[in-house]
Structure 1
Amino acid sequence: MDSAGIDRFEAGRGRLASIAYRLLGSAADAEDAVQDTFLRWQAADRERVEVPEAWLTKVVTRVCLDRLRSAQARHERAAGAWLPEPLLEGDPMLGPADTFEQRESVSLAVLTLLERLSPVERAVYVLREAFTYSHAEIAGILDITESASQQHVHRARIRVASKRRRGGEADPASARRVVAEFLAAAMSGRTERLVALLTDDVTAISDGAGLARRLRYETREQVASYVRAGFRPTPAKRRLAGGSPEIHIALVNGSPAVLAVVDDRVVGAVAFEVSDGKVASLLGIAAADRLTRLNEAWQQHEPAAPVINAW
């Protein structure tokens, strides 16, 4: 391939990776999908490609749909421990964040809800909500009619909205304060204060550190009990983590998260969704293979001081 062909692909690599990440929920899988797209671009008769951006978008979307429909992907997601991969704020794979819809579409809460959609519904939702493609453009990308695109996005919005909490978008500073207060209550073991900081319909989901099926808690009392036990330091937890972690609060996928860090290595992350000054959902991820990219980003930036120096 000549340098012009490579440059044209590289100019769109970030956008392709952002699309793939939203569709697949995994940074590693997204990188693989982008690489597959590059190989197809390399083999294509590029002189016959009238609009390279549209061609590349169509290919990366098709590659992702094939992965979502594969037997392996269906098995992994059905196994129960699958959760989306968290990304540290500033990661270019998070993509556009100019509008509320774009920020929401990459939140871990929404990425988890997108698992309820069919692959085509997921693709239409992502292309429309996060990348503002027209229905005509989406129809061309997916080889469906404009009417079908409209129907898919309508159904997807309803299914996502039915499980979403609507309390307005929390600004990062106030959300961080809520999480800091929540963490202090969790560390103190004050169950009544924990319960008071939870919405009535709060949920908490954990990947079981990759060792068990996904765990889900759906009442304030269950969530408070889970959090109180999870944040209580024990020698066994320190051995599992490889030491005594520092506890940091950082932004992950646009939302505040508590990170446990040992020797500059993130060993666990709990992402929070804050609504009207309370915690609406928690998502706990500790499987090492879901923290690889976050770790790479963490080691390349200067974190703020930990809120707890030695857990």
Structure 2
Amino acid sequence: MMVNPPEFLAMRFEEHRPHLRAVAYRMLGSLAEADDAIQETWLRLAGSDDRRIDNLGGWLTTVVGRVCLDMLRARKRRGEEPLEHRLPDPVISREGETDPEQQAMLADSVGLALLVVLESLSPAERLAFVLHDLFGLSFEEIAPIVDRTPATAKKLASRARLRVRGAAPPPDPDMSGRRRVVDAFLTAARGGDFDALLALLDPDVVLRVDGGALTGGLRAIRGAAAVAGQLDTFQRMATAATTHPALVNGSAGLVNTLDGQPLSVMSFTVTGGRITAIDILSDPRRLARLDLGPAQD
């Protein structure tokens, strides 16, 4: 049976969907908006003459990048609260059971700490950095998307890279080592052991907590002593909740539930054997929209 052209085009698009969702997620930090960007990309493909497209993957990446850039700029025009005032959406999975689409989403160790920094970039800087540094597009390919010259696109990516390196140190490559540090954190929290907790923290550690509108949005605490000073809160969370180890954006994390309901998602960045960032999402409305099933089995 012959496949008609629209069905064939849809089938080819689906082959690229994991990659496109990965690009959109890095650009937008929102799973729902990433899906909206993918839908808009499909509509543009469906309305085009695909016979004139030599490299479908490259064409789709360019289009989804342009769609995401427009969405980022629209946020500013509408005067929306910047996403840097809340944590990006985390991607939760069970350790060792990441499906192909999640693997594409989480390649390059795109942890929450890195996504937080990306939220602080200008839309053009973010696009240049994401498409070049994370997906390998040339500046000649990026330049038309941002309406700049290749040299200017290169400068945009360079500025973004400097900010990322300064604010989001890369995590240790050894996943088992990162998990041991997170397990030690949990042990120290449950036992109320201040000295053990302090020893696990990098001197410049940052704790970010997003409890949603009811708690004033995103709050940040910096420095080992100040973060360790939250021990009572960590202890209450660790002893009152049921804690499940999980991968949060591809790194060792924790999902906490109370009476079967999600209480919080914790993401840890471990660099040099110490915790450099702890990101906690405890906004009930956003937790309800996340797929936390695998972590709660």
Q: Which category describes the TM-score, using the shorter chain as reference length?
A: 0.7 to 0.9
CA contact (8 A) 1:202 1:218 kept: yes
- Post-superposition Cα deviations, 1:75-105, rounded to whole Å, max 9, x if no partner, equal 222683x1111102425245276xxxx523x
CA distance in structure 2 between the aligned counterparts of 1:148 and 1:189, rounded to whole angstroms: 52
CA distance in structure 2 between the aligned counterparts of 1:175 and 1:74, rounded to whole angstroms: 39
| Partner residue in 2 for 1:245 | 241
Query: SS at the partner of 2:225?
Result: helix
Letter of the structure 1 residue corresponding to residue 272 of structure 2: D
Query: SS at the partner of 2:80?
Result: helix
Q: After the TM superposition, which residues 10-21 of structure 1 pair with which residues of structure 2 at under 5 Å, given as runs?
A: 10-21=14-25
CA contact (8 A) 1:85 1:291 kept: no
Q: Does 1:176 align with 2:179?
A: yes
Q: Does 1:256 align with 2:269?
A: no
Displacement of 1:302 after TM fit? Answer: 7.3
| Partner residue in 2 for 1:22 | 26
| Partner residue in 2 for 1:54 | 58
Bigger mean CA deviation after superposition, 225-234 or 171-180: 225-234
Residue from 266, 272, 290 that aligns with 2:262: 266
Letter of the structure 1 residue corresponding to residue 108 of structure 2: R
Q: Does 1:112 align with 2:112?
A: no
CA distance in structure 1 between the aligned counterparts of 2:142 and 2:158, rounded to whole angstroms: 14
| Partner residue in 2 for 1:77 | 82
CA contact (8 A) 1:27 1:293 kept: no
- Post-superposition Cα deviations, 1:7-66, rounded to whole Å, max 9, x if no partner, equal 121111111111000000111110111011111212223233333222222221111111
- Post-superposition Cα deviations, 1:140-166, rounded to whole Å, max 9, x if no partner, equal 444432212211111111111122336
CA contact (8 A) 1:96 1:130 kept: no
Displacement of 1:169 after TM fit? Answer: 2.0
Query: SS at the partner of 2:255?
Result: strand
CA contact (8 A) 2:25 2:105 kept: no
| Partner residue in 1 for 2:36 | 32
Query: SS at the partner of 2:70?
Result: helix
Query: SS at the partner of 1:76?
Result: coil
| Partner residue in 1 for 2:151 | 147
CA contact (8 A) 1:200 1:219 kept: yes
CA distance in structure 1 between the aligned counterparts of 2:229 and 2:90, rounded to whole angstroms: 24
CA distance in structure 2 between the aligned counterparts of 1:197 and 1:258, rounded to whole angstroms: 16
CA contact (8 A) 1:191 1:224 kept: yes
In structure 1, runs of 5+ residues without a counterpart are 239-243, 305-311
Q: 1:233 to 1:144 in 2, by over 3 A?
A: closer
Displacement of 1:184 after TM fit? Answer: 1.0
| Partner residue in 1 for 2:91 | 87
Aligned residues: 286
Displacement of 1:228 after TM fit? Answer: 2.9
Query: SS at the partner of 1:66?
Result: helix
Q: Percent identity?
A: 35
CA distance in structure 2 between the aligned counterparts of 1:119 and 1:79, rounded to whole angstroms: 13
Q: 1:127 to 1:264 in 2, by over 3 A?
A: farther
Letter of the structure 2 residue corresponding to residue 277 of structure 1: G
Q: 1:144 to 1:121 in 2, by over 3 A?
A: same
Query: SS at the partner of 1:165?
Result: coil
Q: After the TM superposition, which residues 158-197 of structure 1 pair with which residues of structure 2 at under 5 Å, given as runs?
A: 158-165=162-169, 169-197=172-200
| Partner residue in 2 for 1:213 | 217
Query: SS at the partner of 1:17?
Result: helix
